[in-house]
Structure 1
């Protein structure tokens, strides 16, 4: 996901090719998610942007904006894979585009801006086209009505925390210390929460914590004054360099973890720093975190040290696993869920919270297993039930609750096995009988409880 440095790159090219220019045409393409999710529409965007002169471009964390000579203005979020492309030059930051990506106009466009050749402040500016693209549709495009200089004081930017680079006068050591003390969550989750800080994403948070020599799982309210100062210094340095280099990793310092975090080398080798320290990957706040355990020591309580509080949920694994990403997600709430152990093929975590009490339900195992949920069930009685054992091929648990009495019935084994149930059976007499022995092919176990 584009973070503070990548967004700074977009803003750089917007200044270079759009600011001071008049948008001759704007062709917007309908998308009920990219536009509709934030109360905008492609028709409205096209109408209000066409003919406008771009007066400025800026950012706040993961958001960037374009201001015009007349309200409304555009505020955009890149989501997971969004990007701004220009036909005049390549704007990518980490790899050379393939032939398909170099085609113009590009695929997955959400809007296409066209500026004709014009003279701006005595300088002849060549014609240029710019396209906003997003294949996964997590990006967001909206219009905001306000004065250009007030754009950061209206929704959605006002709901986000300060930008470590744009708001250095706000993000002080004292400010960070107060923020850490107000929360009781893993420090990485705190850094990722955009309501706390704007622009810090997964790799930036990992780099900040590595440079500060802090463990990502340690609770935010457990750091010493010296550790807080180190965290602040690392935060400001990493974010500033990311912005100044416009996320070009080739320009990052050689001491940075980012240079080695995904370099696993030959088969069988593990990630490691040039000095030999091992790099491991773990889940914090539902995100993969790179950490060097020999350098990032735990000096206080971490998420796993407290039962039932602030534990990390692991997302499903596998190529086909899908992850739901919501804009402005409250990551503090996400990390408080406790994962449920399930089969590798279908790891599902279901958490229920009511009146301050949390329960974790384990989904049935097997591809065809189904769970029956009955409303208004007596939870006190159900909690005392002991599940019946069934065959591995078809584990089924059937519970019956009536008048405060619970029974667990086990289905017969074998495809041809049948169970005869008689109505109005005298259970007192049957309970005294000794069950007959069945053949190996159709063993039947019948239990009666009263």
Structure 2
């Protein structure tokens, strides 16, 4: 899913094309999940955005928002597969098959903003799996981070360095007894770190991702902090373009397309995979040693292909049991957004299966998360 660096990329494009311009028109498609789960409707969003000027674009971890000339302000989260596209620029790293121009609006759009002025530009929020969230926050722009849900999330490693110090991290680690990577992935602790960023941090720190968080020495905590700042700063600065990442990064070599024997660093060190709590972690055993107790449910030798193709992973069958239905407006937690959805369950705008196999042009892409973004272009 898009993590701190991928969100920084979108904020970059919003600053480049949208900031300083007025929204002349808005098109929306009603979605009781993407809008409704967080207490907003497409019609409310359309009304709130039309005729308003965009003053800035900002980010906290995996969340990003537009500062408008008056409240409310739109706050967004991509979930597993959301993205933002621009009619006059390519915000991803791919080109459509046969170099044909992409039709507009793009498939799976939730809103399209038409901007005044030149160059002509429209901005579309797209989400095939409907795990993204779009809401309106009725707060002054200076108070956004003091308002839910941002206030419930931890500090951002890039913009909150005064808060996320070595001492702060040491106290946080020692206040819990959980696998250290699980602590990093919990957005209530630290904002923006997902699976691939977490793996890179642990590799650069030369620490084992499943060692309990309260077992690290002061020296190890310092290494972890240094690695976190280095990885997040570098990935954000490079706007998640993995082709520009340092050659010695684990990220550059971990994607083996399911062939574990192919996952090696340039020096020949083998990359292996652990699975704990349903998540796959890439590690280099020759340098990431266990120095204290680790979580007991670690299983070694997990197939990296499972993580790379997580959109196709089927959930385990469990015994049926009766439970009370959850309210429709219940907030989807970060952990739930990370749960893979079987390929056959992918839904369209109206909650129905997308057919359209003969529509438009097939596209493929790969972002820093190593996931292939694919689909077919349609007329929306």
> Which TM class, normalised by the smaller chain length?
0.7 to 0.9
Which SS does the other structure have where 1:142 is aligned?
Answer: strand
The aligned counterpart of 1:285 is 277
Q: Which has the higher contact order (CA 8 A, sep 6+)?
A: 2
Q: Is 2:189 aligned against 1:184?
A: no
Q: Deviations over 1:32-61 (max 9, x none)?
A: 110011011001000100110001110000
Structure 1: 4+ residue segments shifted above 6 A: none
Instruction: State the shift of 1:27 in Å.
Output: 1.0
Q: Is 2:235 aligned against 1:242?
A: yes
The aligned counterpart of 1:257 is 250
1:216–1:284: 8 Å Cα contact kept in structure 2?
no
CA distance in 2, matches of 1:100, 1:135: 21
CA distance in 2, matches of 1:71, 1:51: 13
Match of 1:209 among 193, 202, 206: 202
Which SS does the other structure have where 2:7 is aligned?
Answer: helix
The aligned counterpart of 2:24 is 24
The aligned counterpart of 1:430 is none
Q: Which has the higher helix share?
A: 2
**Using a 3 Å threshold, how does the CA distance of structure 1 residues 58 and 319 change in structure 2: closer, same or farther?**
closer
The aligned counterpart of 2:289 is 297
**Using a 3 Å threshold, how does the CA distance of structure 1 residues 199 and 268 change in structure 2: closer, same or farther?**
closer
Q: Deviations over 1:85-125 (max 9, x none)?
A: 001110004x43446882211000000000122xxxxxxx3
**Using a 3 Å threshold, how does the CA distance of structure 1 residues 83 and 318 change in structure 2: closer, same or farther?**
closer
Q: Is 2:277 aligned against 1:272?
A: no
Unaligned runs of 5+ residues in structure 1 are 118-124, 307-313, 335-450
1:189–1:284: 8 Å Cα contact kept in structure 2?
no
Q: Deviations over 1:305-330 (max 9, x none)?
A: 89xxxxxxx99x9946149xx84335
Correspondence 1:23-172 to 2 at 5 A: 23-93=23-93, 95-98=94-97, 102-117=102-117, 125-172=118-165
Which SS does the other structure have where 2:262 is aligned?
Answer: coil
Q: Deviations over 1:287-320 (max 9, x none)?
A: 11111111100000001189xxxxxxx99x9946
CA distance in 1, matches of 2:260, 2:83: 35
1:264–1:271: 8 Å Cα contact kept in structure 2?
no
**Using a 3 Å threshold, how does the CA distance of structure 1 residues 186 and 42 change in structure 2: closer, same or farther?**
same
Instruction: State the shift of 1:274 in Å.
Output: 1.0
Instruction: State the shift of 1:149 in Å.
Output: 1.3
Q: Deviations over 1:245-304 (max 9, x none)?
A: 000001111110000001369x78331111111111111332111111111000000011
TM-score by length of 2: 0.78
The aligned counterpart of 2:166 is 173
| Number of residues of Structure 1 aligned to a counterpart in Structure 2 | 314
Q: Deviations over 1:3-28 (max 9, x none)?
A: 00000000000001111100000111
**Using a 3 Å threshold, how does the CA distance of structure 1 residues 188 and 97 change in structure 2: closer, same or farther?**
farther
Correspondence 1:413-432 to 2 at 5 A: none
CA distance in 2, matches of 1:155, 1:249: 32
The aligned counterpart of 2:221 is 228
CA distance in 1, matches of 2:75, 2:124: 15
Which SS does the other structure have where 1:75 is aligned?
Answer: strand
1:188–1:205: 8 Å Cα contact kept in structure 2?
yes
Which SS does the other structure have where 1:269 is aligned?
Answer: helix
**Using a 3 Å threshold, how does the CA distance of structure 1 residues 281 and 128 change in structure 2: closer, same or farther?**
same
Greater C-alpha radius of gyration: 1
2:37–2:332: 8 Å Cα contact kept in structure 1?
no
1:188–1:284: 8 Å Cα contact kept in structure 2?
no
**Using a 3 Å threshold, how does the CA distance of structure 1 residues 270 and 320 change in structure 2: closer, same or farther?**
closer
1:280–1:293: 8 Å Cα contact kept in structure 2?
yes
TM-score by length of 1: 0.66
CA distance in 1, matches of 2:160, 2:151: 13
Q: Is 2:187 aligned against 1:194?
A: yes
